[in-house]
Amino acid sequence: MSSSIQIAVVGSGYVGLVAAVCFAEMGHQVICVDNDERKVTALRAGETLIHEEFLPELLGRYRNERIRFMTDLAEATRESDAIFIAVGTPQSETGDADLSYVEAVACEIARSLNKYTVIVEKSTVPVYTNEWIRRAMERNGVPRNLFDVVSNPEFLREGTAVADFLHPDRIVVGADSERAAAILGKIYAPLTEGSYYKTSDAIPGMCNETAVPQLLFTSTKSAEIIKHASNAFLALKISFINAVSNLCEATDANVQQVAHGMGLDSRIGPKFLRPGIGYGGSCFPKDVAAFRSVADQLGVDFSLLTEVEKINANQKVRFVRKVRAALWTLRGKRLGVLGLAFKGETDDIRDSPAIELVEMLMAEGCSIVAFDPAAMERAAQVIPSGPQMTYAKDAYEAAADTDALLILTDWAEFKHLDLARLNSSMRYSILIDGRNMFDPAVMASHNFTYVSVGRPTSY
Ligand code: NAD
Q: Do 181 and 277 fall into the same domain?
A: no
| pTM of the full structure | 0.96
Is 155 known to sit in a ligand binding site?
A: yes
Structure confidence by residue, pLDDT tens digits, 13-43:
999 999 999 999 999 999 999 999 999 999 9
Q: Are residues 173 and 32 both part of a single domain?
A: yes
Closest-lying ligand 1 atom to the alpha carbon of residue 153: 44
Residues taking part in catalysis: 283
In a domain, 258, yes or no: no
3-state secondary structure at position 97: strand
Residue nearest (by alpha carbon) to ligand 1 atom 4: 13
- Domain for residue 114, yes or no? yes
Total tally of structural domains belonging to the chain: 2
Instruction: Strand 430-433: give its sheet, edge to edge.
Output: 389-391, 367-371, 334-338, 404-407, 430-433, 449-451
Judge whether 13 and 89 are in contact, CB under 8 Å: no
Residue 66 and residue 177 in one domain: yes
Using CB distances shorter than 6 Å, the residues near ligand 1 are 10-16, 33-36, 39, 73, 86-89, 101, 104-105, 123-124, 154, 156, 158, 282-283
- Please tell me whether 322 is known to bind a ligand: no
Confidence bin at 200 (pLDDT 50/70/90)? low
Are 178 and 111 within one domain?
yes
393 exposure class (CB count in 10 Å sphere: 0-12, 13-18, 19+): exposed
pLDDT in tens, 375-410: 999 999 999 999 999 999 999 999 999 999 999 999
Q: Is 233 inside a domain boundary?
A: no
Q: What number is the average pLDDT over the span 152-168?
A: 96
Residue 231 lies in a domain: no
Domain around 361: 263-451
Question: Does one domain contain both 184 and 37?
Answer: yes
Does residue 255 belong to any structural domain of this protein?
no
Pocket test for ligand 1, best of 87, 121, 342 (most atoms within 8 A of CB): 87
Ligand 1 center to residue 153 CA distance, Å?
A: 12
